[in-house]
Amino acid sequence: MSLVGPDSQRIAEGREACIQSYRDEYQRVQVTAFKADKAEVNVAGHTAVATYNYSQSYEVGSEARTEDGRNILVFTKEAGQWLLTWKAVIG
């Protein structure tokens, strides 16, 4: 699994590193609102690509922030289960 952030910088590579990046992020920030829309999923064989726009508000310490963007997620079907293999954040 790979996580890619805005400007195509690699955030994490490998299952454990990706999980740890989410743990670290959610220990640092408090999400106060999240909205997703314009979701679309395209499937071709054992690969699926899901995209959606998002808007979220969160706090880092005492600072409030808002961010809008688009997520792109790629899934691979293995042994009957869809597994997230790549995620990119745009915006």
What domains does the chain contain, in order, with CATH numbers?
Answer: 2-90 (3.10.450.50)
Ramachandran assignment for 80, one of left (phi > 0), alpha (psi -120 to 50 degrees), beta (any other): left
Q: Which two tokens stand for residue 30?
A: 């408090």
33 Cβ contact list (under 8 Å, min separation 6): 55, 56, 57
Pairing outcome for strands 10-13 and 29-44 = unpaired
Q: What is the pLDDT of residue 18?
A: 87
Question: What confidence tens digit (pLDDT) does each residue in 17-76 have?
Answer: 988 988 998 889 999 999 999 999 999 999 999 999 999 999 999 999 999 999 999 999
pLDDT over 80 (residue 91): no
